Structure 1
């Protein structure tokens, strides 16, 4: 086998690989010899089929396997000897493939872009500022008020008031089909929030405008696919006796409300809220500090970038931004999108930082554990209620999707590793300052 360099410019590499006919023949014979003891053929005992007959029967198929294995072996040996790491899958083409015949040498052209050598970075020299925000009483009280809105209560409207959408109507009702009451069609003191869509379609709308002590007949039709087959598609009349009309009000902030949210008392709920708020602040602060770290790293390193990676990243950025500007276009049936100089500049930064973080993570032996991957998959699966199992199985069978999910976890672990080595100074700031810093990230 012979490997000859044909191109070495920047990160671009090219090689000719020649596998002689004798090498291929030897590889085929080796495979036949390995298989011979297990081969059974009519007229011969197991393991006694002559090599010449085996070669006639299986030679063509084994020749293809031998070619592939030999070329793959040559490529792997080249990368091991040279230390090169291809940025993308190498391009491999067989020379004179259409004219090649058994007995000829195999000649292959291989080309790729090598990943660059990443310079060392003194991580301890990086200075970062960590914005620290404490959850003050005003923030806790604001969050409590928002919770009270969700823990909605109802109070009686003035006598004679008409029910509005969103009001609660307390009533007795009896439902009849063909003049006969049916099981499950009656209730007493039933509290129904108008607009909640908890009853048969069309029912609640007919109660808008009713008053206490009023009787109202509501005529509706059960859906054709109603779970009770004997009622499906049937028309029903519900005679409703209205007892109270109540308007929604925010829950009173007290110990009773706190128990609705799983706390022992109001002080306990305030403590939970304070912890949640400070966790949110910490997450936002980390995002700001991460941007500061990436900016610092970007200013510390400079190296050649594989053009193919930059081009692919710029195209992806341009495509994503185009869809954000044209949200009505869901598919990819649109004009060709060309990357601008701005897209290319952003792509260069992303590729440079991606390669640097990958190198730092490799040297630090950062790994994404199976437990971390499983947790990430489960978090995403929750976005598909009722289809969690199918989503989980889809990810398990899709290596590309697994890599897409693993990459951000790996990056965050590397960032945390760098945070530990960098000089980080805490700075206590008001919530508004942190909010402005976060908004600045979103505007970039």
Structure 2
């Protein structure tokens, strides 16, 4: 009988030890890889969700103007802004999971107490849990754990915003000059007073309005760019503006704010105000101050003020979608807007409600005699423009820094005075 080789037995035991050691090392490697990859995925999804909720809170806070409809408008604006974002590795439909809804948006008063009172609401909170975020490598560890590892996880985010004074802001490229001998806060204008923007006149005299480029240039194309949805931000008191030449295309971005579109433009890409209902001397009868914002000077049973029409999400055609019918209401001329094509849809389920936000209550620079910005006024865009060189009209609401102003726009927060802008506080 051949004697047993002791080295062979030793080699076998060493091989088994190596296999066991490698298996344990592989387990730890998978675990570390799972932590690195899967937790990174969860972190990315949470970051995307946080961005969406920040957008929600800022858009909603913009509507907290103390009016009776502010929370309704805030909820609609918050949902619209949040759900434009992509979540779950840039999924347009959030990987089939629920997006932000009205139940995710709540309000608080100045003492930080929960409230449903639109007049008292000063803070808005958007919160949302994103379920169904898949993990992959961590699932492989299930067989090694008595508790197991779930195949999906949820991430949660929250954002709170309010309105605060701005260092700089985002006005539209028209400007106001004080009436002769008048100064702040209202520069000689009565709240509710209508002021004409002269389409063919370069610059503006005392008590007038005109087109002005916020970047200080004289390029007419720049005016339309600054009036568009992206606008011109970073504008502050002390900046100088430029006087552009004849306008060629300002009517397009101006009218988009009323939900009136050319060609293939649409409400989903070119957001309207909450209402497109327009005001002219044809359908509004008050003498100075006319007060289309909150007054009672309508001609006819259906002609109500802006706040009423905004609450109903009225279109340019009031309850309809016919451009010519809307032109008849506003101008008494069915052919007044023949170069345009379509109107945003009205009502709670329409495009003004789904895609709208405050686009007609706007910030306007107040200029001194050297075309330097000295202040900002809050104004209401009254009616669409039939053409780029036509006169337009706006209603003076008040100084943009007033605490109860409805004029909240985007801009850089952190100032101690001046216009109010949405600002994140958490």
Shared topology, TM-score over 0.5? Answer: no
Could you say which TM-score interval applies, normalised by the shorter chain? under 0.3
TM-score for both structures, normalised by structure 1: 0.19
Normalization by structure 2: what TM-score?
A: 0.20
Larger radius of gyration: 1
